[in-house]
Chain A
């Protein structure tokens, strides 16, 4: 069955796959996790605030993005971004956006909807006495959020955030639909150039599996370590 396989193609293309592809994928995952958590936390705070407008806007953002497929959102931003930049900068024609920047903005905005649900649960898990005590000490809203609530919420939710990051890592493979050079895109490029689809796609699957599996295992260990015994 494997007699006419050419596993040499993997070895030959490995430097390209790792230096271009995997670097793109991992950088995109890391940066959009950071961006997504920050934006998601702000949205969660908006949904939990006492202002009706902010509540509705936050809920609308989350529900809207969560009912759309990521592939469609990737297309949206891929085509929309040049026009937005033109509008912002006042240029005379749509401004071309780099592949990486386009993907990063898309994933930050899309994943923020999911991260905000996690952070909302995290903030709600903090006992009511905590913000009350912070207010009694004379802290204002931002101080009590920054010093008291968010650090605890973040710690409680860290395993869930990291699990979502693993999902995000797998989701980045979808930038394939706009031909960006992520890991799968690079593998697919080599596969089509050399006519070695079978070898390259199996190899890509194994790499994704090993990284995700190992990361999940680390998250499980972390969860056991940081769990607060109540």
Chain B
């Protein structure tokens, strides 16, 4: 290969004047983690509402939640981000639209909103599966001892359902982290965007992308490890026996 490797480039000053290239990548990683954390909180909130709504009897909640899931799952995330970023401000009343466009850090809020709502539909599906995996008797027993339906969800159904879906939630969180890279299309300076910028300034393509790859791998390992820790923390001895 006729490629000139130069790993020293990582320590050279970037033309943005804020520090070395490695430092700009570190800033990008921080943005990635910030957006992922914000989007994940939103996704958990939305997903919890959706998962419960799809498990409720009655004619209203379940179809509405199903419609939400179908809409958000069947449009690519990139297109959804474009809709939030370019289209939504135009559809709002004029003064609101102007306010949205002038927001500082608009890509940050848009990314958290767009990725959060998108991942929310997937978290909702996981939670619904978790609730369905519980024996019917749990709900019946809960109402038989006098709990209302909200109480039954709060004290009996959800604590078990969340524990069941912790492993798939881990991979959904990892997906959230990976999906933050899509937000570079709306100008968010996260890790992949920083690597791309470094490549454009320095022409050292492979050093830039290798560094970003290593950072993503480390982030993945850290998250997987942390989630394992949480899993063993919240595990209830003997609860697994209840399954089936």
Contacts and interface: CB of A to CB of B under 8 A. Distances in A.
B75 A209 contact: yes
Q: How large is the interface on B (under 10, 10 to 19, 20 to 34, 35 or more residues)?
A: 35 or more
A79 B205 contact: yes
B79 A67 contact: no
Contact of B75 (A64, A69, A83, A208): A208
B205 A201 contact: no
Interface in A35-72: 64, 67-72
Contacts of B77: 170
Contacts, number: 107
Contacts of A147: none
Interface in B212-233: 212-213, 216-217, 220
B87 A198 contact: yes
A177 B184 contact: yes
Contact of B212 (A72, A170, A201): A72
A93 B86 contact: no
Nearest to B223: A67
A163 B123 CA distance: 17
B75 A71 contact: no
Contacts of B95: none
Contact of A76 (B70, B75, B209): B209
A87 B1 contact: yes
A20 interface: no
A164 interface: no
Interface SS of chain B: helix
A173 B76 contact: yes
Interface in B155-205: 174, 177-182, 184-185, 192, 195-196, 199, 205
A17 interface: no
Q: How large is the interface on A (under 10, 10 to 19, 20 to 34, 35 or more residues)?
A: 35 or more
A138 B180 CA distance: 52
Contacts of A69: 177-182, 192, 216
Given A79-B199, A79-B205, A198-B87, A71 B181 contact: yes
Contacts of B82: 188, 197, 201, 204
Nearest to B80: A205
B87 A202 contact: yes
Interface of A: 1, 64, 67-72, 75-76, 79-80, 83, 86-87, 92-94, 170-171, 173-174, 176-177, 184, 188, 197-198, 201-202, 204-205, 208-209, 212-213, 216
Given A173-B79, A176-B78, A184-B79, 18 more contacts: A68-B178, A68-B216, A69-B216, A75-B196, A79-B205, A79-B209, A83-B2, A83-B3, A92-B2, A170-B76, A174-B182, A188-B82, A198-B87, A201-B87, A205-B83, A208-B76, A212-B74, A213-B74
A-B pairs with the 4 shortest C-beta distances? A69-B181, A212-B74, A170-B76, A69-B178
5 contacts: A69-B192, A72-B209, A75-B199, A197-B82, A202-B87
